[in-house]
Chains A and B, each alone.
Chain A
Amino acid sequence: MDTSSPSVFVNGALMRRYVGQKVRTVIQVIGSDIGSVVGKSTDDLQIVVRGSSPTPPLTTYLEVIGIAESDNAIRAETWTNFGNSFGTHNYNELCKLANGEFKHLFI
């Protein structure tokens, strides 16, 4: 496993802790423009993802990995379609645990 460039699991609220660092999150796509996608984080915050989005069509849920530019924007390097059904609640809880009680288990 490549651990040289770890990315932190975040939801919308956790982004601000990692501005300038590499994060990963899942958003529900609200709209896409040329060069950016607007989505809703698993904790219902709006996130703008910049970068060259993958070739459409995008599915409802999208995982992005990239650098947090601000507390609501990510410059994405990796885009992955996550399908049209996704347990956002579980993902949100995962983010909280990975940055809280079980932080030591995550790189």
Chain B
Amino acid sequence: MPVSLTPNAITAINDGDVNLKPLLQVLEIKMIGRSQERSQERYRFLISDGVSAQHAMVAVQLNDRVKSGQVEKGSIVQLIDYICSDVKGRKLIVVLNMETIVPHSETIGNPTIFGETDTEAQKPLSAVGNIPPPNRVVFNEPTAQHSVNRAPPRGVNIQNPANSTPSFRPSVQPSYQPPASYRNHGPIMKNEAPARVIPIAALNPYQGRWAIKARVTAKGDIRRYNNAKGDGKVYSFDLLDSDGGEIRVTCFNAVADRFYDVTEVGKVYLISKGSLKPAQKNYNHLKNEWEIFLESTSTVELCPDEDGSIPRQQFSFRPISDIENAENNTILDVIGVVTSVNPSVPILRKNGMETHRRILNLKDESGKAVEVTLWGEFCNRDGRQLEEMVDSAFHPVLAIKAGKVSDFSGKSVGTISSTQLFINPDFPEAHKLRTWFDHGGKDTASFSISRDTMPGGVSRNEIRKSVSQIKEEGLGRSDKPDWITVKATISFIKTDSFCYTACPLMIGDKQCNKKVTRSGTNRWLCDRCNQESDECDYRYLLQVQIQDHTGLTWITAFQETGEEIMGCPAKKLYALKYELEKEEEFAEIVRDRLFHQYMLKLKIKEESYGDEQRVKMTVVKVDKMNYTSESKYMLDLLVR
């Protein structure tokens, strides 16, 4: 069947035409491998107009067309929505929407790769690539009638390849539009026209200018951090657009200050300019391989006239029975009826900070139930509300957006910072569940996919080991540190050096605590703060020998745990030993701390000092023996 490709289409596209809707042939399809393992794959085409050929990136939402074979090598396609951007002097076409016209065809003509054009000369022309969106009437009167901002629903006129080719020709737009009103500004002029609104799914780092219209679905708090480069703050928010595309936006420092108050959850914004970087999959669960970093030139404008075409939230609820087979750390949405809520309990985090935890049970129509762990703020805010409801014999529906699956004991779902909870939400899934629960679901037994708490009141994520097991099992040798609990007695405490001089200055809301050195007369210099202070703090750095019935080992205790072990602040001990020189009294205190039994939570990690590998054991929590719970623990070992 004779199909003619649109002549000179490649040149026209490179000159900035986005309305041509040309017929082009796909000569090559290549999957672009991504370094990040979880990122989405992307396809690159080599497209030809019969004379010239050029590479084109294909927006990820079109990946299915390639996978399903709708587009393959040789296919003739009509580009419906596309842009051409300038990346490091090279033109790159990005295909946002296309239709297959002829599934298979021999190569037409003898195309050659489109050469490097004189990019300088092209500049004013390429600007047309970013046609203003139609709602910006001021700028685009001349172009309004052929705007392609919203491409017609796919395949308006072309679905049947058997249809003779000319039938869709009328839809083809004039091949080239001169630049709009700003052409008077001279040949080399920055393009001041607003960027074109594109779907979030079409965003990629190769576009120079873009704009997206999206609703803020979640917004994080401003977080302060401190790293090698110094202090800073960061916050991020999540966007959802009318095509269901989602992406996270991150702002640092001044940019964060500028946009934090502007962005409000639930509102729709027009966002433009900013760089795209690979998404940090550890923190970012959104279905997008990119993340937007806003810059000082970025704009975030409220769209007051939003029409509700963008959903408030996008859920993809998974039945609880699915969670049973979900991998650890999977982020997913789940909805269920809350059957019980436990009280909030304080928990010591691995980094030594205290937080709160509250466990509740959720069940759904799949006949399974799961434990949901609320952390930190969720415990108080939403947790209390849920607890009150359940206490008054009402079982609310709870929708969890972005909960994290944990496989520690059975499967459970926990909150992360970007999790959102919706109590008795007003959407169909919730109403369906409510109906199910009220009409029998309440009384059906659900099998819990979470294991019940370990007996003996022992915290469930406590791994009990004996001292000799640490060595025998090679703890700390894997990538991650091992966290274990030993029941042991302190048999020796090193006293020649038990503390260090610490920087008392505050960094943000935390004390610096880095080691300070004496400078001049009684001044203390901190390398990190690069400041001197009159006084220094004394913090424990304590070497302690512990033993149980299997053996003995050395552990290190820092400030908080050190104070727990010694029973008094390091400063007091230091003064006693070095300033008051009361050696006897000092020795007495130390002696008094020996031969007490504790439950010690240890962090074990092998570290290298030069060529030497040493297993480092740090106490993160010291608990006095609770004989009742320990007896119960041992009893349970006996009867198990």
Partners in one complex: yes
B638: interface (CB < 8 Å): yes
Quick check: which of A5-13, A17-25, A85-93 contacts chain B, the rest being far away? A85-93
- Interface check A97, CB cutoff 8 A: yes
Identify the closest chain B residue to A97 (Cβ): B638
- Of B16-24, B416-424, B472-480, B628-636, which binds chain A? B628-636
Instruction: Report whether A87 and B631 are in contact in the complex, using a CB–CB cutoff of 8 Å.
Output: yes
Asked if B631 and A90 sit within 8 Å, CB to CB, the answer is yes
Cα A48 to Cα B631 in complex, Å, equals: 27
B627 at the interface (CB under 8 A from A): yes
Q: A93–B634 Cα gap in the complex (Å)?
A: 11
Minimum CB–CB distance for A12 against chain B, Å: 19
Assembled-state Cα–Cα distance A93/B627 (Å): 15
Measured in the bound complex, the distance between the Cα atoms of B539 and A51 in whole Å is 58
Report the Cα distance A97→B635, complex, angstroms: 9
- Inter-chain CA distance A90–B626, complex, in Å, is 13
Interface string of A77-95 (1 = CB under 8 A from B): 0000000011101100110
Q: Are B627 and A87 in contact (CB under 8 A)?
A: yes
Q: Which residues of B contact A86 (CB under 8 A)?
A: 628
Task: Please give me the residue from chain A that is nearest to B456 by CB atom.
Answer: A90
- For B632, the chain A residues whose CB sits under 8 A away are 87, 89-90
Beta-carbon contacts of B602-640 to A below 8 Å, as 1s and 0s?
000000000000000000000000011001100100110
Residues facing B in A34-81 (CB within 8 A) are none
Give the A interface residue count (CB, 8 A). Answer: 8
Whole-angstrom distance between the Cβ of A66 and the nearest chain B Cβ: 25
Contacts of B635 in A (CB 8 A): 90, 93-94, 97
How many angstroms between the C-alpha atoms of A88 and B507 in the bound complex?
50
Most chain A CB within a 10 A radius of its CB, from B635, B638, B639: B635
Q: How far is the CA of A90 from the CA of B631 in the complex (A)?
A: 7
Q: Which residues of A lie under 8 Å from residue B627 when comparing CB positions?
A: 87
On whether the beta carbons of A90 and B638 are closer than 8 Å, the reply is no
Contacts of A89 on B, CB cut-off 8 Å?
632
Which residue of A is nearest B636, CB measured? Answer: A93
Residues of A within 8 A of B628 (CB): 85-87, 90
How near does chain A come to B4, taking the closest CB pair, in angstroms? 88
What CA separation (Å) do A94 and B628 show in the bound complex?
A: 12
Q: Which residues of B contact A87 (CB under 8 A)?
A: 627-628, 631-632
CB B23 to nearest CB in A, in angstroms, measures: 81
Complexed CA–CA distance, A46 and B156 (Å): 87
Across-interface contacts of A85 in B (CB, < 8 A): 628
Give the complex CA separation of A38 and B75 in angstroms: 95
A100 to chain B, nearest CB (A): 10
Bound CA span A93–B638, Å? 11
| Residues of chain B within 8 A of A93, CB atoms compared | 635, 639
**A90 CB contacts on chain B under 8 angstroms:** 628, 631-632, 635
For the complex, give the distance between the alpha carbons of A62 and B575 in Å.
46
Q: Which residue from chain A places its CB closest to the CB of B635 in the assembled complex?
A: A93
A85–B628 CA distance with the chains assembled, in angstroms: 9
Q: How far is the CA of A89 from the CA of B631 in the complex (A)?
A: 10
Bound CA span A86–B627, Å: 10
A106 to chain B, nearest CB (A): 14
Q: How far is the CB of A84 from chain B (nearest CB, A)?
A: 13
Task: Give A105 Cβ to nearest chain B Cβ, in Å.
Answer: 11
Q: How far is the CA of A85 from the CA of B638 in the complex (A)?
A: 24
Docked Cα-Cα span, A89 to B628, in Å, equals: 9
Q: How far is the CA of A82 from the CA of B499 in the complex (A)?
A: 41
CA distance A43 to B14 in the complex (A): 88
- Once the chains are docked, how many angstroms separate the CA of A50 from the CA of B222? 70
Contact with A along B100-133 (1 / 0, CB 8 A): 0000000000000000000000000000000000
Nearest CB of chain A from residue B24's CB, rounded to whole Å: 78
With A and B bound together, what is the CA distance between A97 and B639 in angstroms? 9
Contacts of A94 in B (CB 8 A): 635
How far in angstroms is the closest Cβ of chain A from B115? 85
Interface centre among A86, A87, A89, A97 (most CB of B within 10 A): A87
How long is the Cα–Cα vector from A94 to B639 in the complex, in angstroms? 11
Within the assembled complex, what's the spacing in Å between the Cα atoms of A90 and B627? 10
Question: B629: shortest Cβ distance to chain A, in Å?
Answer: 8
Closest to A86 in B: B628
| B627–chain A nearest beta-carbon distance, Å | 7
Q: How far is the CB of A2 from chain B (nearest CB, A)?
A: 25
Nearest chain B CB to A3 CB, angstrom units: 24
Chain A, residue nearest B626 (CB):
A87
Residues of A within 8 A of B631 (CB): 87, 90
Interface residues as binary, B574-601 with A (CB distance below 8 Å gives 1, 0 otherwise)? 0000000000000000000000000000
Nearest CB in chain A: distance from B313 CB, A? 47
Q: Determine the distance from Cα of A87 to Cα of B633 in the docked complex, in whole angstroms.
A: 12
Chain A residues near B639 (CB-CB < 8 A): 93
What CA separation (Å) do A85 and B639 show in the bound complex?
24
CB distance from B183 to the nearest CB of A (A): 87
A86 to B638, CA, bound (A): 20
Closest chain B residue to A102 by CB distance?
A: B638
CA distance A89 to B639 in the complex (A): 14
User: A93 CA to B631 CA in the complex, in Å?
Assistant: 10
Cα distance, A87 to B632, chains bound together (Å) = 9
Produce 1/0 per residue, B147-161, CB < 8 A to A.
Answer: 000000000000000
CB distance from B389 to the nearest CB of A (A): 32
A97: chain B residues at CB < 8 Å are 635, 638
Q: Which residues does chain A contribute within 8 Å of B638, judged by CB atoms?
A: 97
The 7 closest A-B pairs by CB, nearest first: A87-B628, A90-B631, A93-B635, A90-B632, A87-B631, A90-B635, A90-B628
B interface residues (Cβ-Cβ under 8 A, vs A)? 627-628, 631-632, 635, 638-639
CB pairs A–B below 8 angstroms (9 shown): A85-B628, A87-B628, A87-B632, A90-B631, A90-B635, A93-B635, A94-B635, A97-B635, A97-B638
Interface residues of A (CB under 8 A from B): 85-87, 89-90, 93-94, 97
**Contacts A93-B635, A94-B635 known; 14 new A-B pairs at CB < 8 A:** A85-B628, A86-B628, A87-B627, A87-B628, A87-B631, A87-B632, A89-B632, A90-B628, A90-B631, A90-B632, A90-B635, A93-B639, A97-B635, A97-B638
